[in-house]
Copies of this chain bind each other. A is one copy, B any other.
Amino acid sequence: MSKPVCAIVGIGPGNGASFARKFDNEGYAVALLSRSTDYSNELARELSDAKAYACDASDPTAVVAAFEQVENELGAVDTLIYNAGSGSWKNVEEITPEEFELGWRINTLGALVSSQQVIPAMKQAGTGNIIFIGATASLRGVPMTAGFAPAKAAQRILAQSMAKHLWPQGIHVAVMIIDGGIRAPGTARSNGADKLEPDDIALAAHYLTTQPQSAWSFEVDVRPMLEKW
């Protein structure tokens, strides 16, 4: 019997790699989608059953093409983790319309288009998971998140609209609200838990995919023990 497929959009040595390792460990075939495949190819070699795909998440055409390739090569996607994200740290006076648009393309539009690629097969299977990796910025804006916060807020409400539409069809849509700094790869793991550890974020994401249908979570916040909030 074939393995379930997990597609992760947005692969870097932080969260993306941790999602990949976790789902690889859990017996999934893992598709690694990212703009550049320099790192993801390396990561794929380290995993037992993973493959890297070039995919600029901000470009719908590229997203469509990449998911088509994933489905052809690995099969229908069971779990989509949308981890692509970026944000300029600028206020309303500094941000250009182009930067504002790019943030929205990566955080919001890419999440929609990626989801649209996997929904049909999930509906047919009557099961599936779509998890958006969000941020506290989705819940409140501050001066320097004039671009990032609106994009994340849009992503979160998109997830809510999707959840209300897709849950009854067996597709578990959820959003994780990452609240806090994330430990940078290569730095020492903090004992005091003042930073989010990517492996622990991945644990929480995987947990969501194991929830029974009678008690699904839509929105889960994660933050370090020592975070000020």
Interchain CA distance A91-B197 in the complex, whole Å: 29
Q: How many chain copies?
A: 4
Q: Which residues of B contact A60 (CB under 8 A)?
A: 97
A219 at interface by CB-CB < 8 Å: yes
Task: Tell me the smallest distance from the CB of A171 to a CB of chain B, in Å.
Answer: 9
CB of B203 within 8 A of CB of A215, answer yes
Q: Which residues of B contact A158 (CB under 8 A)?
A: 92, 141, 146, 149-150
Task: Tell me the smallest distance from the CB of A187 to a CB of chain B, in Å.
Answer: 13
Give the size category of A's interface with B: 35 or more
Query: Interface 1/0s, chain A 180-214, versus B by CB < 8 A?
Result: 00010000001001011100110110010001111
Nearest opposing residue in chain B for A212, CB measure: B200
Task: Tell me the smallest distance from the CB of A87 to a CB of chain B, in Å.
Answer: 12
A154 at interface by CB-CB < 8 Å: yes
